[in-house]
Structure 1
Amino acid sequence: MSDESKESDTSDSSDLSETEDTDADSGGLKPRKYQLELAENAIMGKNTIICSGTGSGKTIVALHIIKNHLEGAPKGKRKVVFMARTGALIK
């Protein structure tokens, strides 16, 4: 791993706690403005790839997209598969 990658990994991981704002009304994590912007195209039904730095809240964006999909889908048609390759994301 290059020195640049090491710096990026350590500086970005400290941002994770800032991203985990809770909102009592939503019962969970509240996406920040930039995270809502990242989710816009996917919510509009467009195929979307989100590429963002470590600790930037991509999982929160994914959960926001999933929540929107489940709330908008008719009953009986609600299906989502969410896969994570690390234990930290699963928790």
Structure 2
Amino acid sequence: MGALGPAVVVKDGADGALAWESGLVTRAPARPVEPVDTVGAGDSFDAGYLAARLRGMSPRECLDVAVACGSLSTRAAGGIAAQPAWDDL
């Protein structure tokens, strides 16, 4: 994937997430989880999106990774105890 223009990425809770980039809107569904603690979920979401982006993944793939990271991070108390590693995705 080549360089794209600026992106706006929005976490949308139970509705997943969406991104606007180069005039296109991309959506990704939420992942069902039994949350223990939501502290750090947004940071995990952001980190997942950026990690996928730096790997050259498509906007949809980036959103899928971001949603997975944010969702999975809520499985334990604290901001990083359940944050997934790349292989967990």
Give the TM bin, normalised by the shorter chain: 0.3 to 0.5
What TM-score results when the alignment is normalised by the length of structure 2?
0.36
Flag the structure with higher helix content.
1
Instruction: From the CA coordinates, give the structure whose radius of gyration is larger.
Output: 1
Flag the structure with higher strand content.
2
What TM-score results when the alignment is normalised by the length of structure 1?
0.35
